[in-house]
Amino acid sequence: MIDDFDKMDKESGVQVIETPQLDIPSGAVDIMSYRSSLVKDYYGGSKGILERLADDGKDDTENLLQTLIIEVIKETDHLLGNQLVAAANGDLRDSSVISYKRTEALEKAVKAISAKRAMEKESGIDLDSPSMQIIFRFFMSKANDSLVKMNVADEMKDIFFATIGEEMETWKKELKEKFKEMRAER
């Protein structure tokens, strides 16, 4: 089927390079496994986003949203590369279409970031914010000051901070659960 763009390409002498057909196995199951293998190849042998997050125990909404924002932004870089290649090849129509698609992707990233901020506002605190890091460091320095005032031996302080470090490995996840419980009680 020839559309107006194809006609204009022929009239202007633009050479359109046909995309080679992939040797995709037939059958729905084969297509699904083929698609999975392409995704795995794309990620350098790793699993896809959702599988990796699930394996890491980070398949909650906030981690998914954060990961998806990163992926959308990465894709805009891919689109920019495609746009620049198209422009360098003189394919202004393709370059414009890609530019438009890139703008759409960036708008979606902005909306996702806004949604993440709204979620953080709802929970009342952003655990990954620089402010939270300052509060945490301040608390730890006060704990150290207290141990110094109590004349606790250096070895005991080291043991205390090593133990609290172990206990704090999952503190963000635990605290998020507490926030969920608090919101559920309201």
pLDDT for 140 beyond 70: yes
Q: Per-residue pLDDT tens for 148-183?
A: 999 999 999 989 989 988 888 888 888 878 877 877
Sign for the CA dihedral angle at 145, 149, 155, 160 comes to: negative
The whole-number pLDDT of residue 49 equals 73
CB contact at 8 A, 157 and 144: yes
User: Radius of gyration of the chain from Cα atoms?
Assistant: 26
Mean pLDDT of all residues in 22-47: 70
For the chain, give every domain's residue range: 27-123, 130-185
- Tokens for 185, please give them: 């009680």
The whole-number pLDDT of residue 82 equals 86
